[in-house]
Structure 1
Amino acid sequence: MTADLPRVVLVAITKHGAAQAATLARALPAASVCVAAKFADACAGLPNPVLAYEGPFKDQIGGLFDQFDQIVFFVSLGAVVRLIAPHLKTKDEDPGVLVVDDAAQFVIPVLSGHVGGANAMAETVAALMGATPVLTTASDVGKTIPVDILGRELGWRVEAPKINITRVSAAVVNEEAVAVVQEAGSPHWWTRPTPLPASIHRFERVADVDLTRFQAVLWITHAEVTAEHWARLHERLVVYRPPLAASAPEGGQ
């Protein structure tokens, strides 16, 4: 997915849905619109690219998955689940998928909420439509650290086996003792209006952490992470690599 400009498509299969998609498209001029050809007149005059399809809509899904990073459906949730099911791969590959209900009251991320960006997209769409985003991922509901995408907006790169990300995410959302060691990068990574949960403990150096006391460690560093660290924190360590320029100390020291 392109970090600065995700490829977004708004999808509708009914007359009412096409009208809703057209309304949102006016606020997202870079987004494409995919509608049934017989309802394409709802998109007349839009600057957005419009795909007016003929035939069964299910035949469009594969192409949408290949071409777009965010797919916003103005289609019922159950129908969307059935339509996308044959095309699912992994959360590292699947696009973000969202559903807007028929009354445009709720925006629901269905697939790839974190890695695929559907949660963030849901909040954007909801703000534009005066709707409510319905987020169900545990870190968002619990207002805690999203382990898999921490620091993404700052250019941080996650370095850990997938099993580690799964185990550490579980420790975070279950409010187990977690150490965040920050030796590099911007300190402004916690942007929620609420304080960090009490189970999260911050340190400036990994040497200051009694590794036996914590169920997981998030280590933000440019230092070498040795095989001993990975072994000692078996499946409980996730490392983040900020851009080198981001951690250069003031005054060049």
Structure 2
Amino acid sequence: MNTPVRVALVAITKHGAQQTADLARQMPEASVCVADKFAPLMAGLSNPVRAYSGPFRDEIGALMADFDQVVFFVSLGAVVRLIAPHLKSKDEDPGVLVVDDAAQFVIPVLSGHVGGANAMAEHVAALLGATAVLTTASDVGKTIPVDILGRELGWKVEAPKINITRVSAHVVNGEPIALVQEAGSPHWWTRPTPLPANIHTFTRFADVDLAQFKAVLWITDAEVPVERWTALPERLVVYRPPCADVA
């Protein structure tokens, strides 16, 4: 069972608080964080409301620690400065998003892929009738997100971080990539467009001519010998579907 995503909607101005209240009505599972003087604007909401009275900067540490997604109705520059002292790593930081003052654009600022900010931006934008401004190359290019492939299906990525970095670059740069699926659900590609032309699919690793490909994405439940990792330095990423996930 998926763990519910903890979302905070945050504002520091009266106008921002009004926008936050409008969004909160469409996201009853989200918490709201506003200055106590704007708390009355949240009347009638079923959402939990976190009203603060001190400096706003004192709230940032708790917001970053307590939530998976933090949606700020605050200027982008201010958000960057506020969150900077609290950043840890892409594996630990929550998704951080900014909504502009006219609620026309939703911008993922931090943890777009691993933290889920890109997906949340598209969700929030749909609710607001806004545009999600995605800058992550794999999203803009409509190609495979190497670091989170199959995550919604429970797949686990298995590879050194340098492999993920290098292979991600090869994917977005249009280099020839072999994708070998020997296990797991075949329903992992959910975009309306076909797989990019540089992604070549196989059902057996043995069928891949490794000299023809810059990298290999291997979806398998087989053991990967050390020799295979050694033979494909910084070129191999392995995905492990759950045992019950059948093709």
TM-score by length of 1: 0.96
User: Deviation string for 1:189-234 (max 9, x for gaps)?
Assistant: 1111111111110000000001111111000000011101100110
How many pairs does the alignment contain? Answer: 247
Tell me, in whole angstroms, the C-alpha distance in 1 between the residues paired with 2:100 and 2:4: 25
Query: 1:103-142 to 2 correspondence within 5 Å?
Result: 103-142=102-141
For 1:222 and 1:68, the matched residues in 2 are separated by 33
Per the alignment, residue 79 of structure 1 pairs with 78
Residue in 1 that maps onto 2:208: 209
**Quick one: which amino acid aligns to residue 131 of structure 2?**
T
Percent of aligned pairs with the same residue? 78
Aligned twin of 1:68:
67
Mapped to 1, the partners of 2:173 and 2:180 lie a distance apart of 19
Distance 1:51 1:3 in 2: 25
Deviations 1:112-149 (Å, cap 9, x if unpaired)?
A: 00000000000110011111100000000000000000
Q: Where do residues 219-230 of structure 1 align in structure 2 (5 Å cutoff)? A: 219-230=218-229
Misfit runs of 4+, over 6 Å: none
Q: Distance in 1 between matches of 2:223 and 2:106?
A: 42
Query: 1:47 — aligned with what?
Result: 46
Structure 2 residue runs without a partner (length 5+): none
Instruction: Map 1:147-158 onto structure 2 (within 5 A).
Output: 147-158=146-157
> By how many angstroms is 1:3 displaced?
4.0
Structure 2 match to 1:7: 6
Q: Which residue of 2 aligns with 1:159?
A: 158
Question: What secondary structure is seen at the aligned counterpart in 2 of 1:109?
Answer: strand
SS in structure 1 of the partner of residue 18 of structure 2: helix
Q: Please give the alpha-carbon distance, in whole angstroms, between the structure 2 residues aligned to 1:4 and 1:150.
A: 19
Tell me which residue corresponds to 1:16. Answer: 15
Structure 1 CA distance for aligned equivalents of residues 158 and 41 of structure 2: 46
2:26 and 2:93 map into 1 onto residues whose CA distance is: 25
Structure 1 residue runs without a partner (length 5+): none
User: What is the Cα deviation at residue 25 of structure 1?
Assistant: 0.4
Q: Letter of the 1:74 partner, please give it.
A: F
Mapped partners of 1:244, 1:14: distance in 2: 49
The answer as to 2:36 corresponding to 1:37 is yes
Q: Does 1:198 find its partner at 2:202?
A: no
User: Quick one: which amino acid aligns to residue 125 of structure 1?
Assistant: V
TM-superposition CA deviations, 1:57-109 (whole Å, max 9, x none): 00000001110000000000010001001111100000000000000000000
Residue 185 in structure 1 maps to residue 184 in structure 2: yes
Note the C-alpha offset of 1:4: 3.8
- Matching residue's letter, 1:83: L
The CA RMSD over aligned residues, in Å, is 1.0
Paired AA for residue 220 in structure 2: T
When normalised by structure 2's length, the TM-score is 0.98
